Structure 1
Amino acid sequence: MDESCDKKTIRDIVLKTAGPVLVEVFLGTLFGMVDMMMLGRIDDPTEAAASIAAVGITNQLVFIALSLVQSLNVGATAMVARYVGAKKEDRIESVVRHVVLLTQILLVLPIFILGLKYTDQIMKFIGAHEDTLMYGRNYFKIIVVGIIFQAFNFSIYAVLRGAGDTKTPMSINLKVNTLNVVGNALLIYGLLGFPRLGVTGAAISTTFSQFVATLMLLRYIFKKDTIIQINLKNKFKFNKDIIYNLVKIGVPASLEQIAFRVGILIFVRMVSSLGTVAYATHQICLNISGLTFTPGQAFGIAASSLVGRSLGADDPDRAEEYIKTSRRIGTVIAIAIGILFFFFGSFVASLYTKDPKVIAQATKILKIIAIMQPFQSSQLVISGGLRGAGDTVWTLIAIFFSVLVVRVALAHLFINILGLGLLGAWYAMFCDQFVRWALITLRFKTDKWKYISIR
């Protein structure tokens, strides 16, 4: 096969793998944007701002919980991809059992207990003001319950993607996200005879949707003709090799996420000190910027699976080509989204709020987000490829330095010393993404990630 034909084959495989993930992540983000728009359109402006702030505050805990879950899942994805590449599919069931059990016992249970027992203290620590507490307390508690289902779902999705099945997660996510949006409309505003519950209604709808996804996944994994089928007749036994792999890959990934979330928490506290309206503006911009992460996330997930399978089949050069192709396509899409935000930012912001000050500020921030795109997308894709190879130590170093040092230090400088307000916070975010891109690209070029072994 000549080189041009081989590159076309690689591009086709990347698009086939990443396509469903891109649709899933893009529409999931879009549905999340619609949720935030619904809260922003609540008639009482005080309730609307406090509701948006409550979602932002709660998301910090949810992101910490799910990031830690994802850390173990990184090991599951890498292992399953390697086993598929090496034709050892019989080991997959054991990986599923281990990763689900460990995430629920070690991560979800402590967060569930602490989240329900210390709701107010956690929300205040993250930066909630009294108005946010008043409207957001019940939202926080209901979402904490939903983490049980979300964590399970994330674990199964990770295994499916490692095996190369990106269509099943897409199909399930599209159904439950649609259910969530409909449920939000009914329960936030009290439509069709449902009670008007505001932000609490959004929490009920989100948690119920995750529960439905769990039921759909359980039905799927108990089928007899799927690659990750579970047979309850088989007794569960702890496997030292699987535990070793999960620890070797998952611990650095967990530390990476802890470093990232600690940095974000410090950053969020600085932003929340600017007041509820500024924080709500920040949340709107974060919500919009979620759309810009979709190409990097989708092609990063594809790279992770394809790299793992290539290394399992002892073909490191093909693994490298998968990362390069994924990065190229993901960056082109990210730049296109960036152009949209740069020139039509005020229109996008006006979908969330009628406040002219918020729209003006958000428009400036969206220009920063637009310029950030090539660096953000590139580092997300390469990081995904490195994790698929099991190289999670270097991504830990990159995150630790760029978020905990660069972002936090520059945010303090721009917000507290130079008085640049919310814009200063986003300048710091831009610098973080640029430094992370440089560090991750440097690691990729060393080729050391090609020679990481797993049992």
Structure 2
Amino acid sequence: MIDSEDGRAIRRMIFKLAGPSLTEMLLINLTQMIMMIFVGHLGSTSVAAVGFTSQIYALMTVCFAALNTGTTVIVARSVGSGRREDANRAAGQSLLLGTMLSLLIMFAGLLYGEKLLFMMGANEDVVQEGLTYARLMFISIAFSSISSSLSAILRGAGDTRTPMKINVLAAYLTVSLGFVLIYGHLGIPVLGTTGAAAATLIVQFGAMLVFLLVMFSGKFDLALSWREISHFDKKMISRMLSIGIPASLEQLVMRLGIMTFVKIGAGLGTTAIAASQLVTNVIGLSFMPGAAFAIAASTLVGQSLGVGKAELAERYVRQIRKYGMALAGVIGAIFIVFAPQILSLYTNDATMIREGTWALRIVGFIQVSQISQFIVGGALRGAGDTRYPLYSTMIGVWGVRVVLSYVFVYVFGWGMIGLWSAVACDQFLRSHLIYLRYQRMAWKKLKV
């Protein structure tokens, strides 16, 4: 049992970390929703173009999961055990390697962007509408990936407030600039989807500069110096990648599976693709609490194990999961009850609203399972167990989501209901597998 004093201390630590991250991620997701609302009023072709690009963008950035996960775990363990030099060295190597990777990925996107859109199932009209948008978004990878790496470093050290402040300001500026550029105000011509990408690119560049200034200022818990990023530390990079590569492979497996899922859905037509993209944008709101609580779980588990307090780590996870599942129940109920009203914010197209309503209501029923998977998976990664989440993702996304979506859509002819029912089956299974792994408690004895 947790006594009242310990319980209050645990709650304070949880919300000290999760509170800023939750605020940050909710506002970032709200920004994405507003930008999609702006695009939604341009028509289904524009929505489909943005949706296809988003899937490619997510796939191209999965390698940063290896760096970010490995960095967060090592920084959290190092800070927990008082080894600040190791934490700073991990931060420097993460920035060095991340910068090189981001430039390679950016150039690959610029060279093969058009082919990738066609491979996703986009038709000629969608590609013509979205190619410039896609290229600008691929350029932005060079900036957003560096910002995400620096955010991971700060969060691993227990500082979630600084990333929150920077990213909340960036979210506000993205919406403001996006409105001007998309619809053409202040003497600027109407740019449509190109304006949405341009706004994102400009603001992400600015956010990256602010993150770099923060990390080199020496005024925060961790500080970078040119000494740490002027050379490769093979031993530190090997430690980060041994932890992070399974997490990166997990993201790769997931993204390839989701791209296949999107391509299966593309067979239902452009309107269905657009409706699915709107639903995906809405449910991003429900990912944010899970991601925020997962960050708290990863950091607190890592720091607790760093000082040899495995039982404290377990108590943190128990409380985080309780709070997360309660919040997810509320979000799920809102999705189920108000699905048509939510989707009508994006579009006046009755068909898109009708198709999307089925999907959003199905998603409402999986919110509790989804957030449990996020939190417990975050706890396992914080302990250094990044392999099992990879295995569960392979089983859930490819063995369940992809296979059942094809069967439900093309064999049974269930359309959007079948497509999103496959997502529900995937989430239920993965949540169960991850929790069974956690209950074995082998994560308490892992060395990183």
**TM-score, reference length from structure 2:** 0.97
- Partners of 1:235 and 1:154 lie apart in 2 by 17
1:118 aligned residue: 112
Relative distance call for 1:2 and 1:426 in structure 2 (3 A) is closer
Aligned alpha-carbon RMSD (Å): 1.4
1:25 aligned residue: 25
1:92 aligned residue: 87
Higher mean C-alpha displacement, 426-435 vs 351-360:
351-360
- Partners of 1:137 and 1:270 lie apart in 2 by 22
What is the CA distance between 1:366 and its match in structure 2?
1.6
What is the CA distance between 1:382 and its match in structure 2?
0.5
Q: Name the % identity.
A: 40
What is the CA distance between 1:233 and its match in structure 2?
5.4
Q: For 1:178-189, what aligned pairs fall within 5 Å after superposition?
A: 178-189=172-183
Contact 2:272 / 2:355 at 8 angstroms: preserved in 1?
A: no
What is the CA distance between 1:3 and its match in structure 2?
2.4
Q: Which amino acid aligns with 2:34?
A: V
Contact 2:358 / 2:416 at 8 angstroms: preserved in 1?
A: no
In structure 1, which of residues 66, 70, 74 is the aligned counterpart of residue 61 of structure 2? 66
Contact 2:271 / 2:351 at 8 angstroms: preserved in 1?
A: no
Q: Which amino acid aligns with 1:141?
A: R
2:156 aligned residue: 162
Contact 1:83 / 1:92 at 8 angstroms: preserved in 2?
A: yes
2:309 aligned residue: 315
- Partners of 1:70 and 1:257 lie apart in 2 by 7
Structure 1 residue 15 and structure 2 residue 10: aligned? no
- Partners of 1:323 and 1:264 lie apart in 2 by 28
Q: For 1:392-403, what aligned pairs fall within 5 Å after superposition?
A: 392-403=386-397
- Partners of 2:229 and 2:165 lie apart in 1 by 31
What is the CA distance between 1:12 and its match in structure 2?
1.7
1:300 aligned residue: 294
- Partners of 1:326 and 1:68 lie apart in 2 by 28
What is the CA distance between 1:235 and its match in structure 2?
7.0
Contact 2:133 / 2:193 at 8 angstroms: preserved in 1?
A: yes
What is the CA distance between 1:60 and its match in structure 2?
1.1
What is the CA distance between 1:89 and its match in structure 2?
1.0
Higher mean C-alpha displacement, 337-346 vs 205-214:
337-346
What is the CA distance between 1:72 and its match in structure 2?
1.6
| 3-state SS in 2 of match to 1:225 | coil
Q: Which amino acid aligns with 1:202?
A: A
Q: Which amino acid aligns with 1:323?
A: V
- Partners of 2:436 and 2:321 lie apart in 1 by 15
Deviation track 1:143-179 (CA, whole Å, cap 9, x = no partner) reads: 0000000110010000100000000010000101111
| 3-state SS in 1 of match to 2:348 | coil
Q: Which amino acid aligns with 1:7?
A: G
Contact 1:70 / 1:154 at 8 angstroms: preserved in 2?
A: no
Contact 1:295 / 1:331 at 8 angstroms: preserved in 2?
A: no
Contact 2:22 / 2:289 at 8 angstroms: preserved in 1?
A: yes
Q: Which amino acid aligns with 2:16?
A: K
- Partners of 1:37 and 1:377 lie apart in 2 by 25
Relative distance call for 1:166 and 1:250 in structure 2 (3 A) is same
Relative distance call for 1:445 and 1:130 in structure 2 (3 A) is same
In structure 2, which of residues 381, 384, 397 is the aligned counterpart of residue 387 of structure 1? 381
Higher mean C-alpha displacement, 311-320 vs 359-368:
359-368
- Partners of 1:234 and 1:39 lie apart in 2 by 42
In structure 1, which of residues 255, 260, 279 is the aligned counterpart of residue 273 of structure 2? 279
Q: Which amino acid aligns with 2:250?
A: E
**TM-score, reference length from structure 1:** 0.96
Deviation track 1:76-119 (CA, whole Å, cap 9, x = no partner) reads: 000000001000112222111211222232x3233222211122
Q: For 1:303-452, what aligned pairs fall within 5 Å after superposition?
A: 303-452=297-446
| 3-state SS in 2 of match to 1:230 | coil
What is the CA distance between 1:328 and its match in structure 2?
0.9
